[in-house]
A and B are shown apart, each in its own frame.
Chain A
Amino acid sequence: MKGMRGFVRLEKRGGVSGTSVLPVTILSVLLSLAFGGIFLQLTGHDALEIYGLMFSGAFGSAYGISETLVKAIPLMLAGLGISLAFRMKLWNIGAEGQLYIGAFAASWVPLTFPDLPAYEMIPAMILLGMAAGGLWALLPAIPRAYLGVNEIISTLMLNYVAILWVDYLVFGPWKDPKGFNFPLSAPFSEAARLGTVGNTRVHTGIFFALIVAVIIYIIINRTKWGFEIRVIGESEPAARYAGMDIRRNILLVMLVSGAICGLAGMTEVSGITGRLQPNLSPGYGYTAIIVAWLSKLNPFAILLVSVLFGGLQVGGYLVQTSGVPASVATMLQGAILFFVLGGDILTRYRIRPGRGEVA
Chain B
Amino acid sequence: MKLVEMKGITKRFPGVLANDDIDFSVGPGEIHALLGENGSGKSTLMSILAGLYRPDRGTILVRGREVWLRSPRDAIRYGIGMVHQHFKLVDNFTVTENIILGHGRTPLFHNLKSFSEKIAELGGHFGLGVDPGARINQLSVGEKQRVEILKMLYRGSDLLIMDEPTAVLTPQEAAELFANLEKFAESGRSVVLITHKLNEVLSVAHRVTVLRAGRVVAVMGREEVSERKLARLMVGGDIAAARREEFCRVGEVVLELQGVSASKDVGGQGLKRVSFSVRRGEIFGVAGVAGNGQKELAEAVAGLRWVHSGRIFINGVNATNLSPRTIADLGVSYVPEDRLGIGLVPGLGIVDNVILKNYRKPPVAGRWLINYRQAEKEAEWLVKEFNIKVADYRAPVSLLSGGNMQRLLLAREILGNPLLMVVVYPVRGLDVGAAEAVHRMLLEMRLKGAAILLISEDLDEIVKLSDRVGVMFEGSLVGILTGGSIKPEEIGLMMMGLAGPGVGA
Contact = CB atoms under 8 A, between A and B. Distances in A.
Asked if A and B bind, the verdict is: yes
Interface string A219-255: 0001111010011001101101111000000000000
A240 B341 contact: no
Given A234-B346, A235-B345, A238-B341, A222 B372 contact: yes
Interface in B44-69: 52-54
Interface stretch (B321-329, B449-457, B477-485): B321-329
Interface stretch (A7-15, A108-116, A187-195): A7-15
Interface stretch (B134-142, B251-259, B355-363): B355-363
A234 B347 contact: yes
A15 B326 CA distance: 38
Interface residues on A, range: 20 to 34
B337 to A, nearest CB: 11
B71 interface: yes
A243 B323 contact: yes
B52 A222 contact: no
Nearest to A3: B52
B304 A241 contact: yes
B325 A230 contact: no
A354 B348 contact: no
B352 A230 contact: yes
A124 B334 CA distance: 49
B395 A237 contact: no
A296 interface: no
A45 B346 CA distance: 49
Given A12-B14, A358-B52, A240 B324 contact: yes
A357 interface: yes
A234 B348 CA distance: 8
Contact of A14 (B15, B54, B323, B342): B15
Given A235-B346, A243-B328, A227 B359 contact: yes
Interface string A310-350: 00000000000000000000000000000000000000000
Contacts of A227: 352, 355, 359, 370
Contact of A243 (B15, B71, B325, B342): B325
Contacts, number: 79
A241 B54 CA distance: 40
B14 A355 contact: no
B324 A222 contact: no
Contacts of A225: 368
Interface in B169-192: none
A223 B342 contact: no
Contacts of B336: 241
A235 B72 CA distance: 33
Given A15-B399, A241-B336, A243-B328, A231 B356 contact: yes
A70 to B, nearest CB: 35
Interface in B355-397: 355-357, 359-360, 365, 368-370, 372, 395
Interface in A161-214: none
B51 to A, nearest CB: 9
B338 interface: yes
Interface in A10-32: 11-15
A11 B356 CA distance: 32
Nearest to A239: B345
A181 to B, nearest CB: 52
A13 B14 CA distance: 6
A75 B370 CA distance: 30
B341 A235 contact: yes
Given A237-B342, A241-B336, A223 B54 contact: no
B344 interface: yes
B418 interface: no
B281 interface: no
B270 interface: no
Most B C-beta atoms less than 10 A away, residue of A14, A355, A358: A358
A231 B348 contact: yes
A88 to B, nearest CB: 13
A223 B370 contact: yes
Nearest to A242: B356
A230 B370 contact: no
Nearest to B355: A227
A230 B368 contact: no
A358 B368 CA distance: 46
B343 interface: yes
B70 interface: yes
A355 B71 contact: yes
B369 A223 contact: yes
Contact of A230 (B14, B328, B348, B369): B348
Most B C-beta atoms less than 10 A away, residue of A223, A242, A358: A242
Contacts of A243: 323-326, 328, 357
A183 to B, nearest CB: 45
A237 to B, nearest CB: 5
Contact of A355 (B70, B334, B345, B356): B70
Nearest to B326: A243
B325 A241 contact: no
Contacts of B370: 222-224, 227
A90 to B, nearest CB: 16
B396 to A, nearest CB: 9
Contacts of A354: 54, 70
Contacts of B342: 235, 237-238, 241
B41 to A, nearest CB: 16
Contacts of B344: 238
Interface string A148-167: 00000000000000000000
Most B C-beta atoms less than 10 A away, residue of A13, A222, A224, A354: A224
Nearest to B399: A15
Contact of B341 (A12, A14, A237): A237
Contacts of B54: 354, 357
Nearest to A227: B359
A222 B352 CA distance: 11
Interface string B393-423: 0010001000000000000000000000000
Given A15-B395, A355-B70, A355-B71, A224 B368 contact: yes
B394 to A, nearest CB: 9
A14 B343 CA distance: 23
Contact of A223 (B72, B324, B326, B368): B368
Contacts of A14: 14-15
B392 to A, nearest CB: 9
Contacts of A240: 304, 324
Contacts of B70: 354-355
A357 B52 contact: yes
A231 B52 CA distance: 35
A15 B347 CA distance: 12
B376 to A, nearest CB: 13
B400 to A, nearest CB: 12
Interface in B206-252: none
A299 B36 CA distance: 48
Contacts of A358: 52, 72
Nearest to A232: B345
A241 B341 CA distance: 10
6 contacts: A222-B369, A230-B352, A231-B352, A231-B356, A234-B345, A241-B342
Given A223-B369, A241-B334, 13 more contacts: A222-B369, A222-B372, A224-B368, A230-B345, A231-B348, A237-B338, A237-B341, A238-B344, A242-B324, A243-B325, A243-B326, A354-B70, A355-B71
Among all A-B residue pairs, the 3 with the closest Cβ atoms: A243-B325, A14-B14, A234-B347
